[in-house]
Chains A and B, each alone.
Chain A
Amino acid sequence: MLRRVSNVGSVTVTSISFSSILEIGDSKQITPYSQALAVKREYPLFFSNEGNFGEFSVFTRPIANVPITETLNMAVFNENPRIDVDHVRVLGIASSSVVQIGNTDIIKAESRIKHIRQLQRQYEREEE
């Protein structure tokens, strides 16, 4: 398949984190994967060895797969083989996300997040 050329004047990205990718140029396959335990505590005490992904089903639950059974004949005609963009500004790229300027064959990304909040009881708050 004939691919187009992406022509971007300038790119500004402030932050890339947690298994994310900024790709300038072509690629064959991009497959980022990330797991996160997002813990918020009213009393801000954290230990470095805390957290076990195996305890939470969200990290092991299979992801629904919808197979495509129909045969697809796709024809692409690139009358203008360029994509022009003056400027791109992205503040943050996070958790298995992809920003690419260029062509690729496959992007397959997966992100799993368990969010936990721990609050104090009223009297514990007053003791401080």
Chain B
Amino acid sequence: MNFTVVNKNIQVGHIDIMGVSSSSVLLIGDTKTIALSSSFDTPPESLIIGPFVPLSPQG
């Protein structure tokens, strides 16, 4: 595949962002490759209702 990009004038006033999180990118510039991955696990089993039990310690 042949892919041609022509970058012309770009002038921006304000960029206002609340949050960049969980492997996200804000880039003012050029790059070749971006690969971002994020896993967020909160299944029904992770809602524990019952007496206080601490998590098992670091192995």
Chain B proximity of A40: nearest CB distance (Å)? 10
User: Please, how many residues of chain B have a CB less than 8 angstroms from a CB on the other chain?
Assistant: 56
Q: Are B21 and A94 in contact (CB under 8 A)?
A: yes
Q: B2 — which chain A residues lie within 8 A by C-beta?
A: 73, 75
Chain B's interface: helix, strand, loop or mixed, by majority? strand
- A108 to B33, alpha carbons, bound, how many Å? 8
Known: A117-B47, A119-B49. A85 touches B12 (CB 8 A): yes
Q: Are A51 and B58 in contact (CB under 8 A)?
A: yes
Kindly identify, within residues 25 to 54 of chain A, every residue whose CB is under 8 Å from any CB belonging to chain B.
Answer: 26, 32, 37, 39, 41, 43, 45-47, 49-52, 54
- A78 to B41, alpha carbons, bound, how many Å? 42
Known: A49-B58, A79-B6. A93 touches B33 (CB 8 A): no
**Quick one: CB contact mask for A45-86 with B, threshold 8 Å, 1 for yes?**
111011110111110010100000011111111111111111
Q: Are B33 and A52 in contact (CB under 8 A)?
A: no
Kindly identify, within residues 30 to 44 of chain B, every residue whose CB is under 8 Å from any CB belonging to chain A.
Answer: 30-42
Q: A121 — which chain B residues lie within 8 A by C-beta?
A: 49-51
Q: Are A95 and B35 in contact (CB under 8 A)?
A: no
Q: A52 — which chain B residues lie within 8 A by C-beta?
A: 55-59
Q: A99 — which chain B residues lie within 8 A by C-beta?
A: 20, 25-27
* Residues in B lying within 8 Å of A, measured CB to CB: 1-42, 46-59
* Residues in A lying within 8 Å of B, measured CB to CB: 1, 3-4, 6, 8, 20, 26, 32, 37, 39, 41, 43, 45-47, 49-52, 54-58, 61, 63, 70-121, 124
Residue pairs across A and B with Cβ atoms less than 8 A apart, 5 shown, are A50-B55, A89-B15, A90-B19, A94-B19, A105-B31
